[in-house]
């Protein structure tokens, strides 16, 4: 049997936008993924469905699997000929025991690669407005593990660290915070030296406490800081309020679940991330072509007979042109046809194929699309409507005076639930809002989470049919003013604003 290969991949500190391009490319081709507890949910959602994912734990004091067993499992899977990705939070070689995992592979002559990851000692302070070096304050950085085995001394050389005058970053040190601060002061550090504890940096649950090193443990206790968290000590911590930027983004602190099909989710996800949201992109449905579609093949042969072609989704555009290419039909056969698109996302999918839509109505729903085509088309025009197998009748009602060929082109299938436990995340308050852009997406989400109390789900819905489906499931529903991506984003901003105001009211009432 051919040997497999192992990749040690750093997943970064949490924000999926900080996962490297190379890491993502390798992850997409993995047969087996062994992941740590510190890998961010957004990165975990990128693990392909076909890959076998194994949680090997590895968080301070909470090990799902001992290190020697992890090493043996990596070797075993590689010997089976698999492409094995060992996915580790942060960087594999910074207190990640990556070297230990490679030793056994090297002994057994198993090929491997290392993909570095953006590391939390630099990224987390940066997301909190703390530059780990600054010419006016310090020119050195020292990264120390604060973790120690039970009953053992820390082994930290506090005198040397204090004498260095550099920024000190302690990882895995929250349990020993009081000992660390005491050790620094006893080694000669000024008690009023600025210090910070940074909770869950680069994610929606990021939280910062800045205080003097002498008072930091008390401040952290009062703030209720949770792990994982990074400890930073040094003058640069005084810059946090001046340089903070992540907290100022309009959707900071909001974790959003996007349920669109994978191939069409990236647009709205990118906008939400740009505005500061932590986005979990978990497709609830997949669009697949209808096999042996004789009606569509006949339409390809007779494209000259149509005056208009109308697309009602980005997925419909993608599958139409994929099937067109398979049939051997030249794209130039579309010459002379007017093209209508239900919205910007659908129009963008057409642009990727060099086609500009002639008509995009201001409201993105089937009824409005039908109205606008009826207004623009010549009476008696023949219209090709390639769309979902189960499509609404509103567009057909508006096109009654025309010769419409309504051809089912694709069907939507519910995706299997991935490695993220969405039910648990909603029950624990780990997701603030779920975004739905179709009724079929709602139905698939409900099917994938049968044990979830849907009253816990705040659903941002793009239109009336989507909201009706979410209402029927018992969700807390909110609907965009218009069935458009921009209006949906505006709705999510409003929902976040209401949540922040509610949180402030609760704080004041305590």
Q: What pLDDT score does 465 carry?
A: 86
Lowest mean pLDDT among 8-17, 55-64, 76-85, 310-319: 55-64
- Strand segments, DSSP code E, in 185-253 are 194-199, 207-212, 229-233
Residue-wise pLDDT for 381-418, tens only, equals 999 999 988 878 889 999 998 999 999 999 887 776 66
Q: What pLDDT score does 281 carry?
A: 86
Would you list the domain boundaries of the chain?
5-118, 122-248, 255-284+415-506, 287-413
Going by their DSSP bridges, the two strands 278-281 and 338-341 should be labelled as: unpaired
Q: What pLDDT score does 58 carry?
A: 59
Q: What pLDDT score does 140 carry?
A: 95
Token pair for 388: 């979902």
Cα torsion 411, 417, 419, 420: sign: positive
Q: Which fold has domain 122-248?
A: 3.30.950
Q: Which fold has domain 287-413?
A: Rossmann fold (3.40.50)
Annotated active-site residue in 15, 36, 91, 365: 36
HEC string of 129-182 equals CCCCCECCCECCEEEEECCCCCCCCCCCCHHHHHHHCCEEEEECCHHHHHHHHH
Rounded to an integer, what distance in angstroms lies between the CA atom of residue 440 and that of residue 424?
Answer: 23
Q: Is the pLDDT of residue 437 over 80?
A: yes
Q: What is the mean pLDDT of residues 200-219?
A: 96
pTM of the model: 0.83
Annotated active-site residue in 15, 46, 91, 172: 172
Q: What pLDDT score does 261 carry?
A: 65
Q: For this structure, is 421 an active site residue?
A: no
Do 5-118 and 255-284+415-506 fold alike per CATH? no
What is the CA angle 170-173-177, rounded to 5? 105
Q: What pLDDT score does 285 carry?
A: 74
Lowest mean pLDDT among 18-27, 61-70, 295-304: 61-70
Rounded to an integer, what distance in angstroms lies between the CA atom of residue 218 and that of residue 295?
Answer: 72
Q: Is the pLDDT of residue 233 over 90?
A: yes
Q: Is the pLDDT of residue 152 over 70?
A: no
Q: For this structure, is 453 an active site residue?
A: no
Which candidate, 233, 143, 219, 228, places its Cα nearest to that of 183?
Answer: 233
In order of 131, 206, 349, 474, the CA distances from 405 in angstroms are 61, 53, 22, 37
At residue 330, the 3 state secondary structure works out as coil
Q: What pLDDT score does 49 carry?
A: 84
CB atoms within 10 A of CB 499: 15
CB atoms within 10 A of CB 157: 12
Q: Is the pLDDT of residue 296 over 70?
A: yes
Q: How far apart are the first and last CA of the chain?
A: 65
**Which of the pair, 345 or 208, is modelled with greater confidence?**
208
Token pair for 258: 């996007």
Residue-wise pLDDT for 31-81, tens only, equals 999 999 889 989 998 998 889 999 998 555 555 688 899 999 999 999 999
Q: What is the mean pLDDT of residues 228-244?
A: 97
Does residue 228 have a cis bond before it (omega within 30 degrees)?
yes
In order of 34, 147, 166, 187, the CA distances from 160 in angstroms are 37, 19, 10, 9
Assign domain 5-118 to a CATH class: alpha beta
Q: Tell me what the pLDDT averaged over the chain comes to.
A: 91
Q: For this structure, is 1 an active site residue?
A: no
Rounded to an integer, what distance in angstroms lies between the CA atom of residue 474 and that of residue 464?
Answer: 15
At residue 453, the 3 state secondary structure works out as coil
Q: Is the pLDDT of residue 181 over 60?
A: yes
Rounded to an integer, what distance in angstroms lies between the CA atom of residue 369 and that of residue 362?
Answer: 9
Taking a C-beta distance cutoff of 8 angstroms, is the pair 359, 327 a contact? Answer: no
Rounded to an integer, what distance in angstroms lies between the CA atom of residue 338 and that of residue 158?
Answer: 74
Q: Could you tell me the strand order of the sheet in which 255-258 lies? A: 278-281, 255-258, 433-436, 458-461, 476-479
Q: Is the pLDDT of residue 190 over 60?
A: yes
Annotated active-site residue in 5, 15, 46, 58: 58
What CATH code is assigned to 255-284+415-506? Answer: 3.40.50.10090
What are the residues facing 211 on neighbouring strands?
Answer: 195
Q: What pLDDT score does 510 carry?
A: 60
Q: What pLDDT score does 137 carry?
A: 94
Q: What pLDDT score does 440 carry?
A: 82
Token pair for 503: 């949180």
Taking a C-beta distance cutoff of 8 angstroms, is the pair 435, 258 a contact? Answer: yes
What is the CA angle 302-364-330, rounded to 5? 25
CA dihedral 104, 7, 34, 428 (to 10 degrees): 140
Token pair for 93: 């070689």
Q: What is the mean pLDDT of residues 491-501?
A: 93
Q: For the residues of 273-292, what is the DSSP string, one character each?
A: HHTT-EEEE--SEEEEEPTT
Q: What is the mean pLDDT of residues 83-105?
A: 93
């Amino acid at each position: 049997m051919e040997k497999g290969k192992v990749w040690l991949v750093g997943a970064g500190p949490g924000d999926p936008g900080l996962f490297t391009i190379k890491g993502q490319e390798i992850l997409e081709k993995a047969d087996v993924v062994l992941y740590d507890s510190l890998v961010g949910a957004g990165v975990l959602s990128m693990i392909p469905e076909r890959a076998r994912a194994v949680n090997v734990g590895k968080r301070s004091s909470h090990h799902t699997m001992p290190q020697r067993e992890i090493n043996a499992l990596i070797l075993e899977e590689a010997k089976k000929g698999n492409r094995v990705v060992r996915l580790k939070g942060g960087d594999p070689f910074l207190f990640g025991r990556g070297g230990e995992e490679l030793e056994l592979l090297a002994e057994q002559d198993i090929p491997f690669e290392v993909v570095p990851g953006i590391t939390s000692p630099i990224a987390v302070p940066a997301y909190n407005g703390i530059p780990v070096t600054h010419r006016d304050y310090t020119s050195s950085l020292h990264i120390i593990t604060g973790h120690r085995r039970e009953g053992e001394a820390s082994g930290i050389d506090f005198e040397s660290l204090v004498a260095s005058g550099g920024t000190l970053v302690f990882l895995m040190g929250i349990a020993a915070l009081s000992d660390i601060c005491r050790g620094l002061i006893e080694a000669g550090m000024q008690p009023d030296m600025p210090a910070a504890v940074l909770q869950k940096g680069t994610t929606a649950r990021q939280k910062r406490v800045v205080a003097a090193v002498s008072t930091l443990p008390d401040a952290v206790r009062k703030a209720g800081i949770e792990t994982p968290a990074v400890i930073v000590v040094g003058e640069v911590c005084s810059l946090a309020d001046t340089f903070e930027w992540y907290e100022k983004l309009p959707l900071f602190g909001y974790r959003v679940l996007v349920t669109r099909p994978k191939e069409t989710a990236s647009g709205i996800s990118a906008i939400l991330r740009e505005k500061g949201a932590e986005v979990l992109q978990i497709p609830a449905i997949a669009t697949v072509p209808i096999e042996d579609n004789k009606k569509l093949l006949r339409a390809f042969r007779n494209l000259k007979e149509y005056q208009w072609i109308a697309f009602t989704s980005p997925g419909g555009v993608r599958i139409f042109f994929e099937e067109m290419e398979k049939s051997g039909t030249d794209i130039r056969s579309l010459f002379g046809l007017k093209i209508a698109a239900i919205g910007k996302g659908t129009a963008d999918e057409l642009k990727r194929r060099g086609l500009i839509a002639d008509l995009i109505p201001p409201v993105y729903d089937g009824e409005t699309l039908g109205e606008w085509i009826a207004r623009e088309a010549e009476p008696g025009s023949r219209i090709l409507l390639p769309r979902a197998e189960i499509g609404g009748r509103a567009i057909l009602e508006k096109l009654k005076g025309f010769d419409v060929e309504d051809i089912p082109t694709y069907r939507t299938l519910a995706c299997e639930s991935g490695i993220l436990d969405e039910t648990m995340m909603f029950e624990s308050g780990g997701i603030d809002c779920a975004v739905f852009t179709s009724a079929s997406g709602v139905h698939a989400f409900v099917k994938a989470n049968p044990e979830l109390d849907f009253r816990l789900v705040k659903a941002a819905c793009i239109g009336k049919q989507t909201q009706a489906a979410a209402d029927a499931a018992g969700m807390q529903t909110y609907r965009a003013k218009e069935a458009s991506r921009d209006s949906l984003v505006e709705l999510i901003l409003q929902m976040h604003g209401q949540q922040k105001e509610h949180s402030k009211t609760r704080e004041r009432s305590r």
